[in-house]
Structure 1
Amino acid sequence: MKKKLVASLAAAMVLGVAGTSFAATNPFTDVPAKHWSYDAVTKLANAGIVDGYGDGTFKGDKTISRYEMAQIVAKAMAHSDKATAEQKAAIDKLSVEFASELEGLNVRVTKLEKNSSTIKVTGEARLRYEDQTADDFSDNSLVLRSRIHLDGQINDQWSYYGRLQSENNLRGGDDGKVTMDNAYVKGNLFGATATVGRFDYVPNGGLMFDSTLNGVNLEFGNVLKANVFYGKDNHQDILANGSSNWSNAEHPEVTGLTLDYATSKATSINGGYYKVKDIYNTDTTDFWEAGFKTQLNSNWNLAGSYGESDIDVENTAYYAQLGYKGADKAKVGSYGAWVNYRNIEGFAAPRTTFDGAYTVGGQSYYDGIDSLYPLGAKGYEVGFNYTPKLNTVLGFKYANVKATANDSSNALKTKFYQAQVEFFF
């Protein structure tokens, strides 16, 4: 089989795998731009799947050997993590056909390493604009957040993940520092899946927590899934004591247990119990929650949760959300929308996922006696997201809420706008 024909067939099977644009000049002197195989050969050459000879020629009319074809297949396999299901199927068939030659190249056919490096590097960038307008204040921001993801396989049972992050205020001022905000190992430990290090934890949709923990998490079960975790929260602006104020203690201890049970293929129920200990004041606050999520049909989903703390006032939280589809970064034209209602009182949730004013670290009021209360929030939110280009997602949300505190501050209302674009690479 002629080499140019093989290259064209390979390109058809792995088209889009490497995602590399064509070179500005001919990669090979003997493959003119007007030749029928030019696009295929150029794409594969740029991706490193095919190469030429030392004199800059491709020699496409030369009959290719099975060994040379195996080299092309091996390189296509190394890029298969970016292939579609159909393309992966074609590559798998070729790997079977050329199995003996691939073994001669020291390629593991059944489990080929998908990156020549031991570390797989990916990234994302998010440009976000936020605006809050309330009765007594207004504020807006424009922030660029950049993240680099590092994935490494330690052995058959353990892996490593690290995430570098920086946030830059595009309105001026000091740029954010680059931090390793995630760094952990994950693997099998005594029949459980263990995560040890610094990791995100967002139990049960985030009504109570959307934060980062320095500690350990153990996950058990299949139909009934359980997570047990312990560590110090990586943030300080969370509710961490049983008194009537917000604590800024040094990274309070968090101990938690969550359960998730699949009642059917479409529906699951969940719950959680958490203890948050203020290291500085040695006070402990208990929190619990219970909720559900269900896929109503192929397009619509519904979720909700209720939670409480053991503080005497402003201690309940709940939300319900109806969602439609959802934007997929890998599917151009995909989109989604949602609407929710939430009532999250000031002492109910340590660090909730819900954005907007009157959440953790937001406004507060003095009750005139002896306590500074955080203002909880109740109201609705609507949102929309859309994928206009591959690996690009647009998002918008609007929330209209008012304070939950039972005094004159209840009159305070806030309108919250958020618009963002995310890029994945």
Structure 2
Amino acid sequence: MKKRTLVSMITGALVIGAASTTFAAANPFSDVPADSWAYDAVSKLASDGVVNGFPDGTYKGQQTMTRYEMAQIIAKAMTKTDIDKADKALVDKLAAEFSEELDNLGVRVADLEKKSDNVKWGGRLRYYYRGVKDDSAANKDRTNDTQYELRLEPKAFIGDSGWTANARIRYYSNAASANNGGSTNNGTSDKSDTKIDRIFVEGPLFGSDAKLGKVGTYSDNVFNTGMIIDDSISGAEFNWTFGKDKSNYAKATIGRYDYNSGANVGVSNYAYDGTGDYTSFEFGHKAKDKGISALAGYYSLRNMDSTFSKYAKADSDKTNFWVGGLGYKFDKNIQLFGLYAKSDMDEASNYLGDDQSKAYDITLKYKNADIAKAGSWDIYAAYRYLGQFATIAPTYDISARDTKGWQIGTDFVLSKNILAMVEYYKGKRLSADYSGNDADYNAIYGRVDFFF
């Protein structure tokens, strides 16, 4: 028989249809004669266990294939280790397309990957530019910040236990700026650094997907805002998903939070500086293509050190944050949502007005950029109000804590795994506005990400 690649085998089978259930014999199917143009492809796939026949020994290639039958073929093809690079790329693309059906079959890509390679490497190379004009600052000129960042994310499979060992290694460097002599937004000089900011094990525990070690924690798995926190803690995080289509989740996080704004490049001065015991509970429902989405969360910092506790209520070493969110998907492309957060810092020192203990985000988004699809894009408009004492370390790129304002942005996939973003924010500094000082604040942000 002429040797063929997995691509040609699957292509031949798909052209005439697919098989189902079981196949007990190694001989060709009774309804695929030896002189058929597809005989080699079907026979080879059957002998390799990639496709099966019907109990009566037929292939029934003239029947229309269901997505479930296609997922069965892909699942078996994913277990093959002796395939070339082009074949593997095709199988990976098919697996992404039929991910939901593979989920229903109980197939997990990570479980299949470990059959061919015990260690997987992923990562990202990023370049960004941020320009900020803050009239409340001593220097009212626009400051410019550019940064390069390389992330390497190795994952090692721990036998057949379902557990993996993970890490994230970051190298970042600020480029000099013509406007501010190479300084960054937080006033430090041009510098670079390498650090391991995550190192943890992940696997099934107590019915959840558990992460233990120095893990990344991100608030809001529903609307993906990260409004309360997007950072690392030393501790544990447990994520349970449930419901017919796993659209509901519960997440619990506990650990020690240590954040030093001056030690990180390109981070706003308005982030916390200190340590505290961190606890959070979050529940959410995420509509798939249409319908209501909802979020509720509680986050707490306790036993804060002297630097951190100046943000807490008087005579207290703890503070709490609550968040609620509601959204509606009109269809798979249009989504409107809002989140509201509140803290108990009404008596904090340096507190300026009741509004500094609340935060909210109202966003209208059209479409979704998918890094696996070149040419895909999205656009959004949002109004954000971020009280200085209402969040911990939000993920927003230019919507800074202690500001309120409008933001627009767009994402565009230049090529597969290459994502470009542009954002513009126009607003005011809350503390300066409350004091009657110049408060205008506007910023522009652009970046390109290369994922691998």
Structure 1 383/74 Cα, relative in aligned 2: closer, same or farther at 3 Å?
same
Pairwise CA distance, 1:398: 0.4
1:257 to 2:284 alignment: no
Pairwise CA distance, 1:342: 0.8
**Equivalent residue number for residue 403 of structure 1:** 429
**Equivalent residue number for residue 398 of structure 2:** 356
**Which letter maps to 1:133?**
K
| Residues 387-398 of structure 1: pairs in structure 2 closer than 5 A | 387-398=413-424
**Equivalent residue number for residue 327 of structure 1:** 369
**Equivalent residue number for residue 134 of structure 1:** 134
Aligned counterpart for 2:171 among listed residues 162, 166, 172: 166
The CA distance in 2 between the partners of 1:178 and 1:305, in whole Å, is: 35
Aligned counterpart for 1:267 among listed residues 292, 299, 303: 292
Given that 2:277 and 2:304 are in contact with CA atoms closer than 8 Å, whether structure 1 keeps it comes out as yes
Aligned counterpart for 1:76 among listed residues 78, 83, 91: 83
Given that 1:196 and 1:215 are in contact with CA atoms closer than 8 Å, whether structure 2 keeps it comes out as yes
**Equivalent residue number for residue 404 of structure 2:** 378
The CA distance in 2 between the partners of 1:297 and 1:77, in whole Å, is: 39
Given that 1:184 and 1:199 are in contact with CA atoms closer than 8 Å, whether structure 2 keeps it comes out as yes
1:307 to 2:341 alignment: yes
Structure 1 188/358 Cα, relative in aligned 2: closer, same or farther at 3 Å?
closer
Aligned counterpart for 1:232 among listed residues 248, 256, 272: 256
Aligned counterpart for 2:219 among listed residues 203, 218, 227: 203
With structure 1 as the length reference, what TM-score do the two structures score? Answer: 0.69
Counterpart of 1:83 in 2: which secondary structure?
helix
CA root-mean-square deviation: 3.5
**Equivalent residue number for residue 106 of structure 2:** none
Given that 1:273 and 1:287 are in contact with CA atoms closer than 8 Å, whether structure 2 keeps it comes out as yes
Pairwise CA distance, 1:247: 5.4
1:120 to 2:162 alignment: no
Given that 1:357 and 1:414 are in contact with CA atoms closer than 8 Å, whether structure 2 keeps it comes out as no
Counterpart of 1:407 in 2: which secondary structure?
helix
| Residues 235-250 of structure 1: pairs in structure 2 closer than 5 A | 235-237=259-261, 248-249=273-274
1:198-246 residue CA offsets vs partner (Å, 9 max, x unmatched): 22212113121121111111223514422111112242349xxxxxx98
Counterpart of 1:252 in 2: which secondary structure?
strand
Pairwise CA distance, 1:164: 1.2
Pairwise CA distance, 1:287: 0.9
Given that 1:183 and 1:199 are in contact with CA atoms closer than 8 Å, whether structure 2 keeps it comes out as yes
The CA distance in 1 between the partners of 2:384 and 2:161, in whole Å, is: 43
With structure 2 as the length reference, what TM-score do the two structures score? Answer: 0.65
1:283-310 residue CA offsets vs partner (Å, 9 max, x unmatched): 1011111002332212111221001111
Given that 1:79 and 1:114 are in contact with CA atoms closer than 8 Å, whether structure 2 keeps it comes out as no
1:338 to 2:363 alignment: no
Percentage identity across aligned positions? 25
Aligned counterpart for 1:286 among listed residues 304, 313, 320: 320
Instruction: Tell me whether 312-321 or 349-358 shows the greater mean CA deviation.
Output: 349-358
The CA distance in 1 between the partners of 2:320 and 2:397, in whole Å, is: 23
Structure 1 304/276 Cα, relative in aligned 2: closer, same or farther at 3 Å?
same
Given that 2:272 and 2:393 are in contact with CA atoms closer than 8 Å, whether structure 1 keeps it comes out as no
Counterpart of 1:353 in 2: which secondary structure?
coil
1:139-186 residue CA offsets vs partner (Å, 9 max, x unmatched): 111111111121222234322221111111122666522222221111
Structure 1 295/85 Cα, relative in aligned 2: closer, same or farther at 3 Å?
farther
| Residues 26-41 of structure 1: pairs in structure 2 closer than 5 A | none
**Equivalent residue number for residue 240 of structure 2:** 220
Given that 1:134 and 1:413 are in contact with CA atoms closer than 8 Å, whether structure 2 keeps it comes out as yes
Pairwise CA distance, 1:404: 1.8
The CA distance in 1 between the partners of 2:304 and 2:167, in whole Å, is: 27
1:418 to 2:445 alignment: yes
**Equivalent residue number for residue 265 of structure 2:** none
The CA distance in 1 between the partners of 2:238 and 2:149, in whole Å, is: 30
Pairwise CA distance, 1:121: 0.9
**Equivalent residue number for residue 367 of structure 1:** none
Counterpart of 2:193 in 1: which secondary structure?
coil
Given that 2:259 and 2:272 are in contact with CA atoms closer than 8 Å, whether structure 1 keeps it comes out as no
Aligned counterpart for 1:177 among listed residues 166, 189, 193: 193
1:12-66 residue CA offsets vs partner (Å, 9 max, x unmatched): 959xxxxxxxxxxxxxxxxxxxxxxxxxxxxxxxxxxxxxxxxxxxxxxxx9x97
Given that 1:81 and 1:114 are in contact with CA atoms closer than 8 Å, whether structure 2 keeps it comes out as no
Given that 1:403 and 1:409 are in contact with CA atoms closer than 8 Å, whether structure 2 keeps it comes out as no
**Equivalent residue number for residue 148 of structure 1:** 152
1:241-262 residue CA offsets vs partner (Å, 9 max, x unmatched): xxxx98532x322111111135
- How many residue pairs align between the two structures? 330
**Equivalent residue number for residue 193 of structure 1:** 209
The CA distance in 2 between the partners of 1:294 and 1:80, in whole Å, is: 40
1:112-137 residue CA offsets vs partner (Å, 9 max, x unmatched): 54674310112210110110012234
Given that 2:126 and 2:450 are in contact with CA atoms closer than 8 Å, whether structure 1 keeps it comes out as yes
Counterpart of 2:259 in 1: which secondary structure?
coil
Pairwise CA distance, 1:419: 1.0
Structure 1 349/379 Cα, relative in aligned 2: closer, same or farther at 3 Å?
same
Structure 1 7/358 Cα, relative in aligned 2: closer, same or farther at 3 Å?
closer
Given that 1:125 and 1:145 are in contact with CA atoms closer than 8 Å, whether structure 2 keeps it comes out as yes
1:296-351 residue CA offsets vs partner (Å, 9 max, x unmatched): 21211122100111111421111111111122221111111111001111211111
Given that 1:13 and 1:87 are in contact with CA atoms closer than 8 Å, whether structure 2 keeps it comes out as no
**Which letter maps to 1:392?**
I
